């Protein structure tokens, strides 16, 4: 039974892949006194919230899965949302995480109490938790971005954000406007195009959409994988090597090959004017890479129109562009993405000496190895600043290992707290930003400012090195990197 004031060794915020992975690692390390607080009514995070038609991962499932729980029979190279969600639920069951879960629990704030070296965590409904350690597993894609367009609130038809798909709405025979054409839209547009009467796609910037080759495995292949798990492991290693090279976005030959394959795929679009509008004018990698085999053919349909003029206003029944064209629609789907750069400062977090995380990060989110930030002892972050790269599940496993080792250290040395030294964090971040500035495609101008960069201009999302490098950095002992205080 849920209590109003709970005390735990560890509070984990979020039950997506990160929170679940952390729970598994804690249990393996013998830490059982933890709770996972999740604002949603289910686990799985990204894959619970994003249920739009056609949602699937962009990193092959043989790698977009945890090493401790390999699944040999993914139905296709890039699994769909439902299959990933089943996988994550399987993990929660198998590793007995469910007793630790508290769903429908939104954390509002957390404050460090120096006097007893505890975090005080408060939820939206006023529940309180006290814990020695807080681990944030909020993800990067939880706060939705809505456009600000004159008249947006006047629209009388149906509207929803693609990240919170309204499954009660039947789009059959409807005139639908999609605003924002990027990662999510290229996945759901092919799914709904044949059902709707008319589809208007409002695109601001043409993205690179490169081949995915997501052909479902045959029964024969699946049997082979099941009987020979080593084949899946070899596959995983090959995929890893490919992403490991791509990660740095500095392999010019590979980038050129990818662009070539994207342009070849684009050639299926019959109308040269549409093809021109779909041709990117920035280098691949400048924006989040997109992968699809089924997106471009959509533009050969009579009921699909690509619009690139800026939207001037929305009326109660239509979308009006600056060229004066009015298009009547029944439904508007906002596929305008996420606020990716806020990280843990989305919550009210107060650390040592009353310092607010928002103030500490006024120049943009920053941390040591993406996991700890100076002045906030015993606070760890998963998928924190500058850890976005390759297979996030691979990156998360490394982070969970690192954090588990820090907890072990606290136990062994009987520490009240540990706090990353400011000079260590600054040295790390100065070098990181210097190396980011050497990645040409991230410096190009493609309107990616609010996906990769905070409002200060600081590049806060991506890890600029390989996944190998992340493993190397996160397996260091880091004993001297922290200021520590012994328990009294």
Ligand X SMILES: Cc1cc2nc3c(=O)[nH]c(=O)nc-3n(C[C@H](O)[C@H](O)[C@H](O)COP(=O)(O)OP(=O)(O)OC[C@H]3O[C@@H](n4cnc5c(N)ncnc54)[C@H](O)[C@@H]3O)c2cc1C
Interacting residues toward ligand X by CB under 6 A: 13-19, 37-40, 45-46, 48, 50, 55, 57-59, 64, 106-107, 137-142, 184, 347, 382-383, 391-392
DSSP collapsed to 3 states, 46-93: HHHHCCCCCCECCCCCCCCCCCCCCCCCCCCCCCEHHHHHHHHHHHHH
Helix (H, G, I), strand (E, B) or coil at 21: helix
User: How far is Cα of residue 455 from the mean position of the Cα atoms in its chain?
Assistant: 19
Least distance in angstroms from the C-beta of 386 to ligand X: 14
Q: What is the largest CA-CA distance in the chain?
A: 74
Q: Least Å distance between CB 392 and ligand X?
A: 3
Smallest gap from Cβ 488 to ligand X, in A, equals: 32
| Cα 188 from Cα 169, distance rounded (Å) | 14
Nearer to ligand X (CB atom), residue 138 or residue 274: 138
Q: Which is nearer to ligand X, 37 or 199 (CB)?
A: 37
Residue closer to ligand X (CB basis): 103 or 424: 103
Nearer to ligand X, 67 or 281 (CB): 67
Nearest approach, Cβ of residue 443 and ligand X (Å): 23
Give me the count of residues in the chain. 488
In the complex, what is the shortest distance from the CB of residue 136 to ligand X, in angstroms, rounded to a whole number? 9
Give φ, ψ of 115 to 5 degrees. -65, -35
Task: Decide whether 19 or 180 has the Cβ nearer to ligand X.
Answer: 19
Q: What's the closest the beta carbon of residue 232 comes to ligand X, in angstroms?
A: 18
Across the strands, what pairs with 134? 11, 379
Nearer to ligand X, 35 or 274 (CB): 35
Residue 13 vs 35, nearer CB to ligand X: 13
Residue 14 CB, nearest distance to ligand X (Å)?
A: 3
Minimal CA–CA distance to 351: which of 12, 10, 11, 120? 120
Burial class of residue 425, CB neighbours in 10 A (0-12, 13-18, 19+): buried
Closest CA to 361 of 417, 425, 421: 425
């Amino acid at each position: 039974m849920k209590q109003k004031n709970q005390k735990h060794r560890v509070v984990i915020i979020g039950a997506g892949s990160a929170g679940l992975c952390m729970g598994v690692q804690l249990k393996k390390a013998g830490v059982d006194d933890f709770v996972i607080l999740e604002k949603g009514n289910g686990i799985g995070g990204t894959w619970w919230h994003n249920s739009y038609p056609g949602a699937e991962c962009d990193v092959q499932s043989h790698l977009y899965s945890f090493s401790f729980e390999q699944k040999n029979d993914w139905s296709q190279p890039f699994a769909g949302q439902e299959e990933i969600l089943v996988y994550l639920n399987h993990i929660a069951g198998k590793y007995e995480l469910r007793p630790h879960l508290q769903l429908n629990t939104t954390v509002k704030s957390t404050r460090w109490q120096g006097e007893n070296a505890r975090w005080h965590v408060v939820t939206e409904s006023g529940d309180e938790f006290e814990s020695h350690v807080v681990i944030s597993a909020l993800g990067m894609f939880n706060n939705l971005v809505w456009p600000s367009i004159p008249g947006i609130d006047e629209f009388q038809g149906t509207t929803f954000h693609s990240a919170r798909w309204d499954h009660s709405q039947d789009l059959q025979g409807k005139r639908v406007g999609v605003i924002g054409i990027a990662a999510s839209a290229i996945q759901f547009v092919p799914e709904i195009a044949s059902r709707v009467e008319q589809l208007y796609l409002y695109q601001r910037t043409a993205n690179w959409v490169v081949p995915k080759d997501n052909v479902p495995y045959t029964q024969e292949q699946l049997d082979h994988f099941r009987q020979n798990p080593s084949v899946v492991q070899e596959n995983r290693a090959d995929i890893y090597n490919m992403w490991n090279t791509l990660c740095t976005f500095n392999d010019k030959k590979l980038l050129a090959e990818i662009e070539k394959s994207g342009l070849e795929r684009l050639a299926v679009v019959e109308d040269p004017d549409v093809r021109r509008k779909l041709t990117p004018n920035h280098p691949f990698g400048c924006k989040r890479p997109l992968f699809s085999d089924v997106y471009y053919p959509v533009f050969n349909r009579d009921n699909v129109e690509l619009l690139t003029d800026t939207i001037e206003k929305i009326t109660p029944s239509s979308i009006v562009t600056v060229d004066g064209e009015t298009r009547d629609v029944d439904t508007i789907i906002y596929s305008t993405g996420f606020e990716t750069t806020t990280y843990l400062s989305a919550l009210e977090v107060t650390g040592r000496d009353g310092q607010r995380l928002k103030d500490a990060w006024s120049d943009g989110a920053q941390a040591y190895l993406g996991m700890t930030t100076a002045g906030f002892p015993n606070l760890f972050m998963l998928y924190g600043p500058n850890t976005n790269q390759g297979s996030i599940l691979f990156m998360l496993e490394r982070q969970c290992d690192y954090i588990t080792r820090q907890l072990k250290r606290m136990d062994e040395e009987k520490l009240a707290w540990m706090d990353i030294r400011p000079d260590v964090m600054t040295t790390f971040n100065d070098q990181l930003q210097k190396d980011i500035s050497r990645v040409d495609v991230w410096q190009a101008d493609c309107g990616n400012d609010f996906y990769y960069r905070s409002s200060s201009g600081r590049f806060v999302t991506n890890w600029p090195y390989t996944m190998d490098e992340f493993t190397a950095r996160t397996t260091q002992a880091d004993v001297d990197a922290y200021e520590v205080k012994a328990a009294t």
